[in-house]
Amino acid sequence: MLLEISHLTKSFGSFTAVDDLSFSVKEGEVYGFLGQNGAGKSTTIRMILSLIRPTKGSINIFGMSIEKEREKILQQVGAVVEKPDLYRYMTGYENLNVFARLSNKSISKAEVMKCLELVGLDKRAKDPVRVYSQGMKQRLGIAVALVHNPSLIILDEPTNGLDPQGIADIRNLILMLSKEQGKTLLVSSHLLSEMEQVADSMVIINKGKKLVEGRVNKLLNPDKVQLEIITDKNAMVKSLLGNSRWSEGLRNAPDQKVLVDTTADAVPLLAKYLVEHNIGISSLRSMNSLEAYFLSLTSGNEVE
């Protein structure tokens, strides 16, 4: 394992931001670190990078403890924590050069420029950062993380505040770093649809606690779907399904809709069952994406 987190806990007074969290990241994979805003993702990442001290637990990277071998580990780690704030009075090139010098490696001007080219900022290298758009700052932040050619890259909400094109650019960059350069990436996000497209494995946390961890293809079992049904008689539908083969999959939901977990091949049967009982179906939506899975977990209804 390249990164191993074991029973990590961080408390601020009586508030526990991260609660007994454990997960591990394998070499070469893109690891999604998912959770709603305030779930404890950034606090965990800050502990991984030794920006804050854990209350309990341990973090091992490359087989070494971050507490004991901080500088040695960080030589091989590149990170952007939350929004990438940079020196506004410096140009993009100057910013990158400053952070390159701090990486304890000999990095040439050509390598700095190559890194800017990688994130598509080579033509704006001489512009001061204060005139950069949010997307450009984000890309420069990623360049800061990449400039010393690290093995492990940690990106905290890298698509925050970006337009669709910017999000696509970051997604392509993550895939390129993983597939072409063999980097290991830990990417946190609350944009689950984005993570679904890039992550090999993931952990989902809520209120500082781990809800689920595993390979994305297993967690996103295409055979399992969640149906969102809107009818003219929702209460009756809930009652009908509660006394049918779908009773176990029935979820708590507001009055306006019915939520039920089932298998993909059972969807037509369920629709037929409702029609046969004179239910007028206004909408029947099947969700099998990570988004639905995540929502089901964080709404308090854990699934197996």
Partner 1 sequence: MRLSSIVYIELYKIFRKPRTYIAFGAIAAIVGLIQLGFYADGESYMKFGMQSLSDSFDVNGNIMNGYLMAFIILQTLLVHVPLLIALVAGDMISGEANQGTLRLLLTKPVSRAYLITGKFIASSIYTIVLLLWMAVWALGISIMIFGADDMLILKSDMVTQVLSSDVTWRYVAAFGFAALAMLTVSALSFFLSLFAENSIGPIMATMSIIIVFTILNTLDLPIFNMVKPYLFTSHMLGWKGFFDVTVNESNEQIIGSIENLPAVLLSAGVLFLHIIGFLFASILVFKRKDILS
Interhelix angle 92-101/134-146, rounded to 10 degrees, is 30
Among 27, 85, 163, 223, binds partner 1 (CB under 8 A): 85
Residue 90 found at the interface with partner 1 (CB under 8 A): yes
Among 89, 214, 217, 232, binds partner 1 (CB under 8 A): 89
Are the CB atoms for 31 and 202 separated by under 8 Å? yes
Residue 74 found at the interface with partner 1 (CB under 8 A): yes
Task: Write out the two tokens for 186.
Answer: 């830990």
Q: Maximum distance among all alpha carbons in the chain?
A: 74
Nearer to partner 1, 18 or 229 (CB): 18
- DSSP for 209-250, written as a single string: EEEEEEEHHHHT-TTEEEEEEEES-HHHHHHHHHTSTTGGGE
Contacts with partner 1 in 281-300 (CB under 8 A)? none
* Residue 256 C-beta: closest distance to partner 1, Å: 40
Q: Which amino acid is at 8?
A: L
Residue 92 found at the interface with partner 1 (CB under 8 A): no
Among 2, 18, 40, 46, binds partner 1 (CB under 8 A): 46
Alpha-carbon distance 108 to 175, whole Å? 26
Among 107, 112, 136, 144, binds partner 1 (CB under 8 A): 144
Among 13, 71, 106, 255, binds partner 1 (CB under 8 A): 71
Nearer to partner 1, 101 or 257 (CB): 101
* Residue 30 C-beta: closest distance to partner 1, Å: 19
Are the CB atoms for 178 and 199 separated by under 8 Å? no
Among 32, 84, 208, 249, binds partner 1 (CB under 8 A): 84
Q: Which stretch binds partner 1 (CB under 8 A): 1-9, 137-145, 223-231, 266-274?
A: 137-145
Residue 153 found at the interface with partner 1 (CB under 8 A): no
Residue 86 found at the interface with partner 1 (CB under 8 A): yes
Nearer to partner 1, 99 or 294 (CB): 99
Nearer to partner 1, 74 or 237 (CB): 74
Nearer to partner 1, 13 or 164 (CB): 13
* Residue 223 C-beta: closest distance to partner 1, Å: 41
Number of residues that bind partner 1 (CB under 8 A): 36
Residue 88 found at the interface with partner 1 (CB under 8 A): yes
Alpha-carbon distance 70 to 63, whole Å? 12
Residue 166 found at the interface with partner 1 (CB under 8 A): no
179: left (phi over 0), alpha (psi -120 to 50) or beta: alpha
Nearer to partner 1, 107 or 240 (CB): 107
Residues that bind partner 1 (CB under 8 A): 46, 49-53, 70-75, 77-90, 94, 98-99, 101-104, 141, 144-145
